[in-house]
Amino acid sequence: MEIELLTAQNPWWEDNDAIKKDDKVKKVLETGEKIQFKLTEGNQVLIGPRQLGKTTALKYDIYKKIIKRGIDPHSIMYYSFDTVRNFEVVSDVLNSFITNSSKKFVYLDEVSFVEGWQRAVKQFLDSEKSSGVTLYVTGSSSINLKKELMPGRKIRFLEFLPLSFRDFLLSFGSIRLKQFLENNKADNFKNAMEYAKSAITHSEEIKKWFEMYIRTGGYPDAIFDYIKNGKISDDLYDVHWNAFVSDISKDKKSAEIATAIIYGIVESYSSKINLSNIARMQGIKSHVTVREYLESFEDLFVSKGVFPVAGRRYVFRKERKIYFNDPFLYGMFAKKTNQVDKNSESKIVEGILFNHLYRFVNAGKTIAEPKTSIGFYSGKKEVDFVVGSFGFEVKWQNEVNIVDFPKVDIKNRILLSKKTLAYEETTNTQILPLPLFLSVL
């Protein structure tokens, strides 16, 4: 490989302070380090959406190691594979920097679209040279991960996701609110309800931030754009749309078909979707094509499907619901498909709840581990989401009461409102303001 390409990406080898001049690091410092991009210890592969901040997380970690911890900058290497497609380059980069087993930190960025990259990393981990190395790898797609998750190697495959509402509050909330949240973190739905009730003394601040979160979601660039300008710019939407189209193309799929399916999802958001209907209405050859694209969307962290529950079993052949993985994505896709709806807030909020429930019940799991599914009751009486013995219904309106929860046979009923707090013992129904509930998950 060309040494100039390697040294150009690691200017701190010549000047310790060069990391302070990196555009990603400068942006973190300019925004007061509000979002603490924290990496866990040990070898890890971080897979998550494009334009979310994975590169920033790596660069900020390098900054902390060099500037705050005083680690030798010559023991730190960063390399971006954004335009690389040959897995042999991965081996070349590793072998050119690591010549012995001394302690080093290696950051391989945007490597997931390099076909066979796992092979190069696996070979390295099996070598003696890896013993003193901590390896950080990032990518934007889990598509190629299905081929090789490196069983038996000391490396974890983790999801790098948008900020949850709780993390959003811990980044931007008042000191008083942060102190409350740090002392009230739920580990099950039972104590989540209790902690949510305790959050009532912070309800005005939590409500204010949730109104913003509905628009920005957990994408840092959208959050800071909104804080600065009171809205999200068209240019930022363009950046994220172009990243989506680029990833679809890298997956060897049609941007036109992907756009048509996105249109169908937005049009039917929070309602059941029939894949054959989407295919017919959008002029797509077959419902099988629609299903394949939805699977790609999941691999690219764009959306996720929710299936109906019959008894205690999920019914995968029936109509499903599709939710985008973050409210910012709904706003971006609605704008790009000319379906901006001023009355869409209740639908967006339902999607926010789904994503938080899914992340809560799967917290701490690696990409390889089986996930706990979220379902919904479908029929004469519908319940938005079902997780085990818990049912969750969202009524995003000012006045909510017990009768707003459908009469279904479910043990623990949680009705989530805008601002109502109440409990009805005979039906075991708890009414909670949704923002308070999300703040403690």
Length of the chain, in residues: 441
Task: Report domain extents, the chain.
Answer: 3-159, 168-439
Per CATH, the number for 3-159 is: 3.40.50.300
Is 415:400 a contact under the CB 8 Å cutoff?
A: yes
Q: Encoding tokens for residue 256?
A: 């036109």
Question: Could you tell me if 282 and 254 are in contact, meaning their C-beta atoms sit under 8 angstroms apart?
Answer: no
Asked if 259 contacts 282 with a C-beta cutoff of 8 angstroms, the reply is no
- Residue 120's pLDDT is 87
Total-model pTM:
0.93
Amino acid at 260: A
Give me the pLDDT at residue 40, please: 85
User: Would you state the torsion angle of the CA atoms of residues 213, 218, 224, 229, taken in this order, to the nearest 10 degrees?
Assistant: -40
Integer angstrom CA distances of residue 352 from 22, 326, 333, 355, 365: 33, 7, 16, 5, 20
SS3 at position 130: helix
Both structure tokens of 6: 């390697």
Q: Is 48 helix (H, G, I), strand (E, B) or coil?
A: coil
Alpha helices, DSSP H only, in 105-182? 117-125, 165-172, 175-182
| pLDDT at site 334 | 98
Per-residue pLDDT of the chain (441 residues; tens, 9 = 90+): 678 889 999 999 999 999 999 999 999 999 999 998 888 889 999 999 989 999 999 999 999 999 999 999 999 999 999 878 788 889 999 988 988 778 999 999 988 778 888 888 888 998 888 999 999 999 887 665 555 566 657 888 889 999 999 999 999 999 999 999 999 999 999 999 999 999 999 999 999 999 999 999 999 999 999 999 999 999 999 999 999 999 899 889 999 999 999 999 999 999 999 999 999 989 998 999 999 999 999 999 999 999 998 766 667 667 899 999 999 999 999 999 999 998 999 999 999 999 999 999 999 888 878 898 899 988 778 899 999 999 999 999 989 999 999 988 899 999 999 999 999 998 999 999 999 999 999
Pairing of strands 383-387, 390-394: antiparallel
Cα-Cα-Cα-Cα dihedral sign, residues 260, 266, 268, 274: positive
Listed in order, strand segments (DSSP E) in 176-264 are none
